[in-house]
């Protein structure tokens, strides 16, 4: 296994992409104390201060068609949530598809980026940001973000979470690759789904549609019900949802 540690890096996702472009090594992982250009989804900036968080990325190359890559973010979210529970006892919830929240404040973000040909995946970079020991957040994030320390009241050893995450990810990722879908982890994922049986607003551009989330299907799409009981599937990445 190739692990690269950095005191400072632009972004661990960018770093793993650079490395994987040269040579893909299974399990290659980058972890940094601080990121200067931490990236979130939708081109957003990801605040990554020194020492208090886990900023890490790794690459996998599943022998599956490219359209299945988005399911890996759900696999990852479940593995992170389980690791946090084991190490800290804290119950987190997953906001579909892959944000992890505690009391509706975000504690983990996941950014997956893929390089693929028509029918094969070259590699998928999975980046995970976990707010671990921050004592506070800048005013503009205060209502939206939390840390394991703020939520649980005790400082957490970051390496314990990384180690536990590795164990869970290996387990769930193997099941996912064998099945080629999320059938083997769907039940566990749904138990943690914050949106389950709750109203969600599906946001697409300027439109805002109210539905009730009922779970996920084995491809990781969100299943929602309208007022007449009709069930629709929402694909990850296509729209965003709000509670």
Interface pattern 174-213 for ligand BTN (x via CB under 6 A): ----------------------------------------
3-state secondary structure of 18: helix
Indicate whether 173 belongs to the interface with ligand BTN (CB under 6 A). Answer: no
CA atoms within 13 A on the CB side of 15: 25
First to last CA, the chain: 40
Of residues 39 and 211, the one with the C-beta less far from ligand BTN:
39
Interface pattern 61-90 for ligand BTN (x via CB under 6 A): ------------------------------
Name, in order, each residue with C-beta under 8 angstroms of 225's C-beta and a sequence gap of 6 or more.
211, 212, 214, 231, 232
Question: What's the count of helices (H) and strands (E) in the chain, helices before strands?
Answer: 5, 12
Helix axes 71-88, 158-179, angle to 10 degrees: 140
Three-class SS string for 121-183? EEEEEEEEEEECCCCCCCCCCCCCECCHHHHHCCCCCHHHHHHHHHHHHHHHHHHHHHHCCCC
Interface pattern 88-107 for ligand BTN (x via CB under 6 A): -----------x--------
Q: Which of 2, 18, 44, 208 binds ligand BTN (CB under 6 A)?
A: 44
Indicate whether 38 belongs to the interface with ligand BTN (CB under 6 A). Answer: yes
Q: Tokens in use for 55?
A: 């900023």
Which position has the token pair 């990236």?
39
Q: Which of 19, 52, 57, 146 binds ligand BTN (CB under 6 A)?
A: 57
Cα 145 from Cα 201, distance rounded (Å): 20
User: For ligand BTN, which residue has the nearest CB?
Assistant: 109
Residues 122-141 that bind ligand BTN (CB under 6 A): 127-129
Q: Which of 41, 85, 105, 171 binds ligand BTN (CB under 6 A)?
A: 41
Cα 61 from Cα 214, distance rounded (Å): 31
Of residues 150 and 214, the one with the C-beta less far from ligand BTN:
150
Q: In the bound complex, what is the minimum distance in angstroms from residue 125's beta carbon to ligand BTN? A: 9
Of residues 57 and 88, the one with the C-beta less far from ligand BTN:
57
Residues that bind ligand BTN (CB under 6 A): 11-13, 35, 38-41, 44, 46, 48, 55-57, 99, 109-111, 127-129
């Amino acid at each position: 296994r190739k692990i690269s540690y950095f005191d400072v890096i632009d972004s661990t996702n960018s770093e793993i992409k650079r490395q994987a472009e040269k040579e893909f090594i299974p399990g290659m992982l980058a972890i940094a104390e601080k990121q200067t250009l931490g990236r979130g989804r939708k081109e957003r900036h990801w605040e990554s201060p020194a020492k208090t968080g886990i900023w890490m990325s790794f690459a996998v190359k599943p022998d599956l068609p490219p359209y299945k890559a988005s399911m890996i973010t759900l696999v990852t979210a479940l593995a992170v949530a389980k690791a946090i529970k084991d190490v800290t006892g804290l119950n987190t919830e997953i906001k579909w598809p892959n944000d992890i929240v505690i009391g509706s404040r975000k504690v983990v973000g996941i950014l997956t980026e893929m390089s693929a040909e028509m029918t094969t995946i070259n590699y998928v970079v999975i980046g995970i940001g976990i707010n671990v020991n921050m004592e506070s957040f800048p005013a503009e994030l205060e209502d939206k973000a939390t840390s394991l320390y703020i939520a649980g009241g005790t400082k957490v050893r970051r390496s314990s979470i990384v180690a536990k995450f590795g164990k869970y990810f290996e387990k769930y990722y193997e099941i996912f690759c064998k099945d080629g879908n999320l059938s083997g982890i769907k039940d566990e994922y749904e138990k943690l789904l914050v949106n389950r049986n709750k109203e969600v607003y599906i946001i697409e551009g300027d439109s805002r549609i109210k539905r009730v989330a009922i779970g996920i299907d084995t491809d990781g799409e969100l299943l929602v019900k309208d007022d007449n009981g009709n069930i629709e599937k929402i694909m990850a990445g296509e729209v965003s949802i709000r509670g």
